[in-house]
Structure 1
Amino acid sequence: MTTFYPVPSPTSPGEVTEFDGQIAELAETLFEIMQSAGGVALAASAIGRPERLVVVDLPDAAGMGCAMALVNPRLTAVHDGLVDQAAVFPGSAPALRFARIDVTFETLEGDTVTLAADGPLAIGLQAQIDLLTNTAPARHLH
């Protein structure tokens, strides 16, 4: 199994301010790359793009699939309960993540939405937002 890591960038990806269709095209490209690689989440920065854009196809805690594109995602609330992301995504780096989070983002059309996420969806979103903000998880397991 091959694991790809993003090339570290000295700056964080920029906020998307234009919702003219180009961001939707980029989201479609990210979904295609993610699916062809058998992945479940991908940030635009992982392919060298400067946009704050993430695509995911992950289940929530109830097992309901959730495929979506999130533009300018940001954590707006975290809730108790930490889980090791490696327990949810075998092969990933051990890191503690919140089991439930709220994420505010824009849709591909520019509408602002807040999503309450739990389960693998919450863990995957935190990892992708970390990539966009060049932030390491707050805690690591050793």
Structure 2
Amino acid sequence: MAIREILEVPDPRLKTVSTPVTQFDDELRELVSDMFETMYDAPGIGLAAIQVGVPLRVLVIDLQPEDPDAPPVECDHDGHKHTHPATKKDPRVFINPEILDPADELATYQEGCLSVPDIYADVDRPATCRVHYQDIDGVTHEEDMEGLMATCIQHEMDHLEGILFIDHLSRLKRNMALKKLQKLRAA
């Protein structure tokens, strides 16, 4: 397992349309393992293979739900101690995913992205959707998704088409977000 570099805007590879996975082999397992390690290290809740420079239709997601049975976690960020609820890992892999039956009803979530660090914006997406996908062994599944999982899978699936969450914003808001990112990088 290895932590891979996460591509950030304006890297042109992020605009690549990813190709379907046809080989369910050890190389794919290593990619998925590296993607989880990279995502957890970042930290994030979702990652598409193109974000680590691999143009394959592979996503990893872990919403890391709170674990009510575990004691709170203390951590030290930038010299400040923080306590937050413990979470449990719930790693999910989606290979060659397709959205079926997106809801007409929209849900708004404040989204962020590991490829657009420190920028957050409200994005409207279908509130629910059915997803057809393969697992790490190539077995086909269909699953109804709602809430944060529906938003997250749609966000990650956008990456497979070369779309970033900021592409859903108005030109004005997108330009403001990119200017803010430039200022943060310069600081």
TM-score of the aligned structures, taking structure 1 as reference length: 0.81
The match for 1:7 among 11, 29, 44 is 11
Structure 1: which 5+ residue stretches go unaligned? none
Task: Report deviation, 1:81.
Answer: 2.1
Q: Which residue of 1 aligns with 2:103?
A: 79
Q: Is the 8 A contact 1:104 1:114 kept in 2?
A: yes
Q: Is the 8 A contact 2:111 2:123 kept in 1?
A: no
The 2-side partners of 1:50 and 1:106 are apart by 17
Task: Report deviation, 1:11.
Answer: 3.8
Q: Which residue of 2 aligns with 1:132?
A: 160
Q: Specify which structure has the higher proportion of helix.
A: 2
* Larger CA Rg, structure 1 vs 2: 2
Distance 1:38 1:88, change over 3 A: closer
User: For structure 1, which segment, 50-59 or 23-32, has the greater mean C-alpha deviation from structure 2 after superposition?
Assistant: 50-59
Partner SS for 1:125? helix
Q: Which residue of 1 aligns with 2:23?
A: 18
User: For structure 1, which segment, 86-95 or 70-79, has the greater mean C-alpha deviation from structure 2 after superposition?
Assistant: 86-95
- The alignment's C-alpha RMSD in Å is 2.9
Q: Letter of the 1:133 partner, please give it.
A: E
Task: Report deviation, 1:58.
Answer: 1.7
Q: Which residue of 1 aligns with 2:44?
A: 39
Task: Report deviation, 1:31.
Answer: 0.3
Task: Report deviation, 1:4.
Answer: 4.1
Distance 1:39 1:87, change over 3 A: closer
Q: Letter of the 2:131 partner, please give it.
A: V
TM-score of the aligned structures, taking structure 2 as reference length: 0.63
2:132 is equivalent to residue 104 of structure 1: yes
Residue by residue over 1:85-109, the C-alpha shift from the partner in whole angstroms, topping out at 9 and shown as x without a partner, is 2179995332211111111111100
Partner SS for 1:14? coil
